[in-house]
């Protein structure tokens, strides 16, 4: 017989799930509906100063299927000659807006790292074709710091592989309010977003998915 377990929404939020990958911790529903709305409002306010733009691939100039922008001391940008962290926005020459305080709080709670994040890369999956190919996050000097990912809006099918592109991989769902911490032995694993499930959330006006990745870029005291 199925055991009856009382619903406890308050404790659900901070209980991590084992992904089977050492160093990757998933917190389903870390942010409840009200916290998701508040975070979305802070993001939309920031987009006034740093409007999301459609990046292009280095060299080929091929436009991406997602849009991006950044908050923080550094933004991650794609340019004709490669990928860079830049303290200014190529679109308008301005500094990026500050990382919203709610995001600094999340980092402080889950990153277990002694310094705050310096970059919040915003990925907007705004069409049914939006995806992100398999890649590694390796442009940061501080590879000892984790990447903290926060998902809002439509659920996506997310893929984590090994340390070579052809290694076998495993797929997970990332839903609105989920937080993932990727660090330790898994920091340099290949990963990507296969697709977003349209209509799976009503959070983002007009639909789609927003992913935020908090990153430490520089090593401390250097
Ligand atoms: C697993 N973003 O911005 S976040 C990226 O959902 C990026 O938009 C995806 O990959 C997104 O670079 C995934 C979760 C994530 C981030 C880094 C990882 C998962 C990871 C590094 C290694 C393994
Ligand atoms: Fe990545």
Has residue 183 been placed in a domain? yes
Quick one: pLDDT at residue 18? 87
Has residue 220 been placed in a domain? no
Has residue 141 been placed in a domain? yes
Of ligand 1's listed atoms, the one at least distance from the Cα of 125 is 8
Whether the pLDDT of residue 194 is over 80: the answer is yes
Any idea what the CATH number is for the domain that residue 166 is in?
A: 2.60.120.590
Which of 145, 179, 191 best tests ligand 1's pocket when mutated (most atoms within 8 Å of CB)? 191
Mean pLDDT, residues 64-84 taken together = 98
All residues at 6 or more sequence positions from 146 whose CB lies less than 8 Å from its CB, including other chains: 23, 111, 112, 113, 181, 182, 183, 184, 187
Quick one: pLDDT at residue 10? 44
Whether the pLDDT of residue 82 is over 90: the answer is yes
For residue 150, the enclosing domain spans 17-215
pLDDT per position as a tens digit, 144-159:
999 999 999 999 999 9
**153-178 exposure pattern, b = at least 16 Cβ within 10 A, e = fewer:** bbbbebbbbeeeeeeebeebebbbbb
Is the shortest distance between the CB of 123 and ligand 1 below 6 Å?
yes
pLDDT band at 13 (very low <50, low <70, confident <90, very high): low
Has residue 1 been placed in a domain? no
Has residue 152 been placed in a domain? yes
Has residue 221 been placed in a domain? no
Mean pLDDT, residues 2-29 taken together = 73
Has residue 24 been placed in a domain? yes
Looking at per-residue pLDDT, the higher value among 9 and 105 belongs to 105
The count of domains in the chain is 1
Has residue 47 been placed in a domain? yes
């Amino acid at each position: 017989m199925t055991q009856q377990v009382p619903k406890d929404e308050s404790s659900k939020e901070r209980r991590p799930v084992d992904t089977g990958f050492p160093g990757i911790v998933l917190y389903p529903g870390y942010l409840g509906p009200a916290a998701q709305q508040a975070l979305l409002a802070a993001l939309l306010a920031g987009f006034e100063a740093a409007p999301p733009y459609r990046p292009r691939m280095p060299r080929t100039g091929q436009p991406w299927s997602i849009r991006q922008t950044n908050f923080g001391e550094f933004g991650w940008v794609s340019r004709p000659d490669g990928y860079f962290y830049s303290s200014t926005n190529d679109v308008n020459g301005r500094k990026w807006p500050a990382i919203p305080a709610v995001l600094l709080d999340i980092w402080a709670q889950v990153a277990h790292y002694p310094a705050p994040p310096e970059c919040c890369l915003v990925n907007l999956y705004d069409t049914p074709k939006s995806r992100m190919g398999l890649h590694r996050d390796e442009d940061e000097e501080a590879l000892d710091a984790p990447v903290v990912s926060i998902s809002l809006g439509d659920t996506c099918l997310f893929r984590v592989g090994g340390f070579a592109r052809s290694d076998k991989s495993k797929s997970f769902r990332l839903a609105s309010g989920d937080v993932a911490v990727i660090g330790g032995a898994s920091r340099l694993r290949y990963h990507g977003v296969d697709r977003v499930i349209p209509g799976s959330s009503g959070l983002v006006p007009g639909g789609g998915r927003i992913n935020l990745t908090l990153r430490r870029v520089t090593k401390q005291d250097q």
